[in-house]
Amino acid sequence: MGILETLFPPGLFSASFMQNAWIAGTAVAVLSACVGFFVVLRGASFAAHAVPRASFAGAAGAVLAGGDTLVGLAIFSVLSSLGIAALSSRRDQGQTTALVLMAALGLGSLFLTLGGAYAPEVYALLFGQIVGISQGDVLGILALLLLTLLGTALLYRPLLWTSVAPDVAEARGVPRRRMEILFLLLLALAATAAVPVVGALLSFSLMVGPAAAAAYFGRSPGRSLAIAVLIGVFSIWFSLIFAYDTGLPVGFFVAAVTAVFYGLGRLWAWLWEIERGLQRAA
């Protein structure tokens, strides 16, 4: 058996659950990279970590109430986003993010306890499960992709301004507070889509990793965004192939591959600094 057949065994593309995983995974990678671009610009990794993680409580609540988990995820990611926005002042967003996350997780642990035994469905939501993505999930995720792309297109310029030069933006009449809320709602959309695929613990890997790496490679914001999307899509494809081959959790591969890209970005920036130092010396 050749290496190609080992890497691409039968069923990787044809099995119906894998077809769902390919479509949903690619959509999630694209929308995560778009939102992640703003996450990196704003230095909002903590919020990007907290919102998907908090939405896990919504899934636990949905299981307890017998509702749809995607709806539970959506409700809790929006609620936690709004909670962070409402409580945070400009100087202490970290504290409020931590406390909102803790409140959601406290509720989550209550829901889990009241729901009795740990539902395997909820457990899969923590770590992501490519086998479990249904046709309905795919449609929901594609709808979220459309919404996120629309949001990114509409908010691109004002968000870029408020993130890069907040004072200039405010002087130009871009409402900082409203942009903050819109950004967090965009984050909630991405979290809702990403958690069923990559899991609540590692959804933020797809947001932060590709965009953080791209920030080192791209010379302009637009190019950084494009590179982030490319890295994100490559990461999820790589992860899907290896998760299928090895049976290991997909989140592990996503976290590892995106961390490698970030390392390459840091290396690239470091080499540039040396190069510039040499030029200056010469």
Partner 1 sequence: MLAFITELLAAPAVGTALLIGSLVAVTSGVVGVFVVVRGQSFAGHALGDIGTTGAAAAYLGGVPALYGFIGVGVLGGLAIERLGERARERDIATGIVLSFLLGVGSLLLYFMTQRISATGGPVAILFGSIFTVDPAVTLPVALFSLLALLLLGFLYRPLVFASVHPQAARARGVPLQGVGILFMLALAIAVEESALVAGALLSTALLIGPAAAAVRWTRHIGQAAAVAALLGLVTVWLGIALAYQSYFWSGAHRGWPVSFFIVMLVLLEYLLARIGPAKRASRSDAPREAA
> How many amino acids of this chain bind partner 1 (CB under 8 A)?
54
Q: Hey, which residues between 161 and 200 contact partner 1 (CB under 8 A)?
A: 199
List the x/- string, 259-278, binding to partner 1 by CB under 8 A. Answer: x--x---x------------
The smaller minimum CB distance to partner 1, of residues 72 and 209, is found at 209
Does position 95 bind partner 1 by CB under 8 A?
yes
Using CB under 8 A, pick the residue from 12, 71, 82, 99 that binds partner 1: 99
Using CB under 8 A, pick the residue from 54, 227, 228, 254 that binds partner 1: 254
**Distance from C-alpha of 52 to C-alpha of 190, rounded to nearest angstrom:** 8
Using CB under 8 A, pick the residue from 31, 51, 212, 229 that binds partner 1: 212
* Least distance (Å) between residue 223 CB and partner 1: 18
Task: Look up residue 187 and give its two tokens.
Answer: 């984050």
**Distance from C-alpha of 132 to C-alpha of 147, rounded to nearest angstrom:** 23
Binding site for partner 1 (CB under 8 A): 40, 43-49, 87, 90-95, 97-99, 101-103, 105-107, 109-110, 112-114, 116, 118, 123, 126-127, 199, 201-202, 204-205, 208-209, 212, 248-249, 251-256, 258-259, 262, 266
